[in-house]
């Protein structure tokens, strides 16, 4: 053991300080948005955070900001962003699309969200046969000459 002391690391187990395994060094990181705005005034930070933590918790690094009302988007340090992208850190779909839009990332946009299906109504597939059934009935009522 080369200096240092025993420590508890993530799992609650006592680990050797020379050990390279620790939840902070092996954590899945992601670049995503962290909401900072008030009610009805959204503003976001672009942060590097652990993927399994809540977005509102402490971020590892703040990379920039985004205001969707004013379409204001800025990255504080381009080199840091390139470094983390070079480390193959995951990027949320919304941040990915923002980076593509501002030509900071050479890729195609991805689908960032999908609409929730309506719970109370019928599915669109169920409505289609009804329309087909009504069409022949309308033609049958037409007077024949």
Whether pTM exceeds 0.75: no
Q: How far apart are CA 9 and CA 19, in angstroms?
A: 11
| Ordered structural domains, the chain, with CATH | 28-101 (3.30.1320.10)
The CA distances from residue 17 to 13, 21, 50, in Å, are: 12, 9, 22
Q: Are 33 and 44 in contact (CB under 8 A)?
A: yes
pLDDT in tens, 6-59: 444 444 444 444 444 444 444 689 999 999 989 999 999 999 999 888 878 888
pLDDT at position 53: 85
| d(C-alpha 71, C-alpha 82), whole Å | 22
pLDDT in tens, 68-119: 999 999 999 999 999 999 999 999 999 999 999 999 888 899 988 888 888 8
Query: Which has the closest alpha carbon to 55: 92, 99, 81?
Result: 92
Q: If we measure between CA atoms, which residue out of 114, 98, 85 comes closest to residue 44? A: 98
Q: Are 3 and 27 in contact (CB under 8 A)?
A: no
Strands 90-91 and 29-35: parallel
């Amino acid at each position: 053991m080369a200096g240092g002391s025993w420590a508890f690391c993530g799992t609650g187990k006592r680990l050797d300080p020379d050990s390279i395994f620790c939840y902070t060094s092996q954590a899945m990181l992601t670049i995503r948005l962290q909401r900072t705005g008030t009610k009805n005034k959204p503003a976001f930070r672009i942060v590097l955070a652990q993927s399994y933590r809540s977005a509102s918790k402490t971020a590892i690094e703040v990379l920039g900001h985004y205001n969707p009302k004013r379409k204001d988007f800025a990255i504080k340090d381009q080199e840091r962003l390139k470094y983390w992208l070079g480390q193959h850190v995951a990027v949320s779909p919304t941040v990915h699309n923002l980076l593509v839009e501002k030509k900071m990332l050479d890729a195609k946009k991805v689908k960032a969200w999908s609409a929730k299906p309506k719970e109370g109504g019928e599915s669109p597939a169920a409505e289609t046969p009804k329309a087909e059934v009504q069409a022949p009935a309308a033609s049958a009522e037409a007077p024949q000459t």
